[in-house]
Amino acid sequence: MKKIIFLLLTLLAACGASAADFKAGGIYYNINEDGKSVSVTSSDDRNELYSGNINIPESVEFNSKKYAVTAIGSSAFENCTALTSVTLPSSVTEIRKDAFYNCASLTSFHIPSSVTELGDAVFEGCTGLTSITIPNSVTKIGRNAFCGCSSLRYAVLPNSITAIELGTFNGCHGLTSMYIPDSVTDMQFRSFGYCTSLMSIKMPPSLSRIGMEAFYCCSSLKSIDLPETLSYIGRDAFYECTSLTSLTVPADTIGAYAFPKCTSLSSLIISPSVNKIGNGAFDGCTQLKSVMLEDSPNPCEYMYPPFFMGRPEEPYAWPFETCAIEYLYIGREISSNLFDSIASIKAMSIGNMVTSIGNWFGDIYNLGYLEISPSVVEIKPGAFLRCTDLSTINVHRAEPPELFKYSFSTLTYQRATLHIPKGSKQAYSEAPFWKDFLNVADDLEPASIDNVTADADDGSFDVYDLQGRLLLRSAASGHDWREGLPSGIYLVRSSNGAVRKEYVR
C-alpha cells in the first residue's frame, strides 16, 4: 500500500511540474532538442489560458540567448476558448497535434508557407472557424485535423498531400463544396463524415481508394463524379447520402454496404472496371429503378462476407435485394447472387459481351420484357424458368442460341411473343425448344442493338425503338421525349454519336 501511495504522489508531482522552459512576452516556450530553437507551449499548470489576439515573434531571447520559434507545440492552445486570433511567423515549420484543439472563438487562421506539417486534431473542435487555406508547403495533414469545425464553409487544400486522413473534415456541417487536389490518391475513414451540407465534391483523377464511411451521412450530396482510376470503395462509404439521384461507379471493387440507404438514388451505371460487388452494397436504395452493368469481357461477381471459424462474419445480403429495380441491363457474365429474386424487374436487356446466360436471376415474377443480344449462343436451364410473366422476348441472333427444356417456363412458351430477326423464322421453328413458342414474329432488324454507353450530350438527339426505327428526330435538350411513348426500352442517340438505352415506364 505504501508503495502505491508513493507512486501516486510521484505522478501528481509530475503533473504539477513545469510544462514550459520559460515565458517571454506573455507566451510560454519549450527549448527544442537542437538547443537553437523553441516551440510555443501552454502555461505551467494550464490554468492560465491564452486569450484575445496572440502575435508570435520569429525569435525570442532567454538568458541572453536568442532562439528561433519553429513550432507550435502539442496542445499549446488547447481549450483556449477565448482565443480570437493567432499570428504565426514565417519561421514556424510545424504545428503539432491538438495545438488549437477546441479554440471555439477562432474564426480564421493564416498558415504561413513555411509550415510543412499539420498534426493530428490540430484544429479539432474549433467551432467558430469559417475558412482555412493550407499552403502547398504542407505535405501532411494529420487525422481529425478539422474534425467538428461545424462553421467551416471554405477550405483550400494543397496539391502536395496524397491522402485525406481519417476524420479530417468529419462533422464540418457548414461545408457545401470541396475541391480535392490532383495529388490525392486515398480518402480515409470518415474523411468527410457528417458533412451534412456538402452538395458537391470534385474528385481528383488520381484517386484510387475511398475508405470506410468516407462520406457517411452526407445527406445533401447531390452528385459525385468518381474517377476511372478508382479501385476500391469501402464499407458504408456513402451511407445515407439521401440526395444522390444518379451515379456511375467505376471502381474495381464496390465494398460491402458501400451505398446503403441512398433513398433518392434512381439510376445506376456500373462501369466495365467493376469486378466485385460486396454484401448489401446498395441495401436500402428503395428508389433505385434502373441499373446498367456496362459491357465488359470480365465477369462481375458477388463478394461474400469474410468467414471466421467457418462462418460468415455477417448475414448474407445480396447487393440489390432491397431495391425496386424495374429495368436491368446486363453487359457481361455475372454470379447468381447479384440480382437474385428481384421481383420488381419488369424489363431486361442482355448485352453484347454475354455469350451464355446462366441461372442468374431466380424469381423475377414480374419480368415482362426481355431483349437478348446477337452475341448470346446459349441460354442455360433455369435462366428464365421462374419469369412466368414474360410477354415479349426479342432475340437478335439469326442463328438460334442453344436452348434447354427448362430455360423458359411452359407458360412463357404458350403466352409470350418471340421476336426474331427477319428471315430466321424457319431456323427457329426447327430448333429444339424454340419451336415450342406458339407466337413468333420475324420482324427484327439484324443490327438494331447498339453498344450501351453512359455518354451524354447537351445538344439535340434522336430516339429509336429497338428495331432501329426512328421515332423522334433532333429533339432539343430538355424535351420530354418519353411523353406519349408506351412502356419499353428505347435507343437515344446524341448529336455527338453516343448512344444510350433508356427505359420508359
Give residues with Cβ within 8 angstroms of 388, minimum separation 6.
365, 409, 411, 412
* Beta bridge pairs of residue 270: 249, 293
* H or E, element range at 277: strand 276-278
| CA distances to 83, 296, 360, 363 from 233, in Å | 40, 20, 25, 29
Cross-strand partners of 179: 202
Amino acid of residue 70 = T
Give the closest residue to 481 by CA, choosing from 462, 499, 505: 462
Report whether 400 contacts 427 (CB < 8 A). Answer: yes
The rounded distance, in Å, linking the Cα atoms of 380 and 356 is 7
pLDDT of residue 305: 81
419 secondary structure, DSSP code? E
List Cβ<8 Å contacts ≥24 apart for 102-108.
Answer: 102/78, 102/126, 103/77, 103/78, 103/79, 104/128, 105/81, 107/151, 108/132
Task: Give bridge partners of residue 334 from the DSSP assignment.
Answer: 300
What is the pLDDT at residue 491? 73
Q: What are phi and psi of 201, to 5 degrees?
A: -145, 135
pLDDT of residue 52: 95
Instruction: Return the HEC string of 380-410.
Output: CCCCECCCCCCCEEEECCCCCCEECCCCECH
The three-state (H, E, C) secondary structure of 344-378, written as one string: CCCEEEECCCCCEECCCCCCCCCCCEEEECCCCCE
pTM of the model: 0.84
Q: Using alpha carbons, select from 84, 23, 6 the residue that is nearest to residue 52.
A: 84
Amino acid at 17: A
CATH topology identical between 18-106 and 346-450: yes
Contact 164, 185 (CB under 8 A): no
Query: What separation in angstroms does the CA of 92 have from each of 38, 99, 237, 310?
Result: 10, 13, 36, 55
65-71: which pairs have CB atoms within 8 A and are 24 or more residues apart?
A: 67/29, 67/31, 67/36, 67/37, 67/38, 68/36, 68/37, 68/38, 69/29, 69/37, 69/38, 69/39, 69/40, 70/32, 70/37, 70/38, 70/39, 70/94, 71/32, 71/37, 71/39, 71/40, 71/95, 71/96
Q: Which of 240, 234, 202, 235 is nearest to 220 (CA)?
A: 240
Beta bridge partners of 418: 393, 440
Per the listing, cell 433513398 goes with 263
- CATH class, domain 346-450, is alpha beta
Helix, coil or strand: residue 159 = coil
Quick check: 178 and 155 in contact, CB under 8 A? yes
Neighbours of 159 (CB within 10 A): 11
**53-65: buried (b, 16+ CB within 10 Å) or exposed (e) per residue?**
ebebeeebeeeee
Ranges of each domain in the chain: 18-106, 346-450, 461-504
Q: How far apart are CA 503 and CA 505, in angstroms?
A: 6
Specify the pLDDT at position 505: 63
From 62, 30, 65, 25, select the one nearest 44 (Cα to Cα).
30
The pLDDT score that the predictor gives to residue 467 is 53
pLDDT at 394: 93
Alpha-carbon gap, residue 114 to 297, rounded angstroms: 51
Q: Is 359 exposed, middle or buried (0-12, 13-18, 19+ CB in 10 A)?
A: middle
- Which CATH fold would you assign to the domain 18-106? 3.80.10
HSE-CB of 239 using CA atoms within 13 angstroms: 19
Q: Which of 371, 446, 434 is nearest to 405 (CA)?
A: 434
The per-residue pLDDT for 312 is 65
pLDDT score recorded for residue 313 = 72
Over its C-alpha atoms, the chain yields an Rg (Å, rounded) of: 31
Q: What angle do CA 304, 310, 312 make, to 5 degrees?
A: 35
pLDDT at 44: 75
List pLDDT tens digits, range 230-259.
999 999 999 999 999 999 999 999 999 999
- What string of pLDDT tens digits covers the 505 residues of the chain? 444 443 443 444 344 334 799 999 999 999 999 999 999 999 877 778 999 999 999 999 999 999 999 999 999 999 999 999 999 999 999 999 999 999 999 999 999 999 999 999 999 999 999 999 999 999 999 999 999 999 999 999 999 999 999 999 999 999 999 999 999 999 999 999 999 999 999 999 999 999 999 999 999 999 899 999 999 999 999 999 999 999 999 999 999 999 999 999 999 999 999 999 999 999 999 999 999 999 999 999 999 887 665 666 778 889 999 999 999 999 999 998 899 879 999 999 999 899 999 999 878 889 999 999 999 999 999 999 999 999 999 999 999 999 998 999 999 999 999 999 999 999 999 999 999 999 999 998 865 444 434 344 445 677 776 555 677 775 565 667 777 777 667 777 766 556 666 767 6
pLDDT at residue number 16: 38
Confidence at residue 337, expressed as pLDDT on a 0 to 100 scale: 84
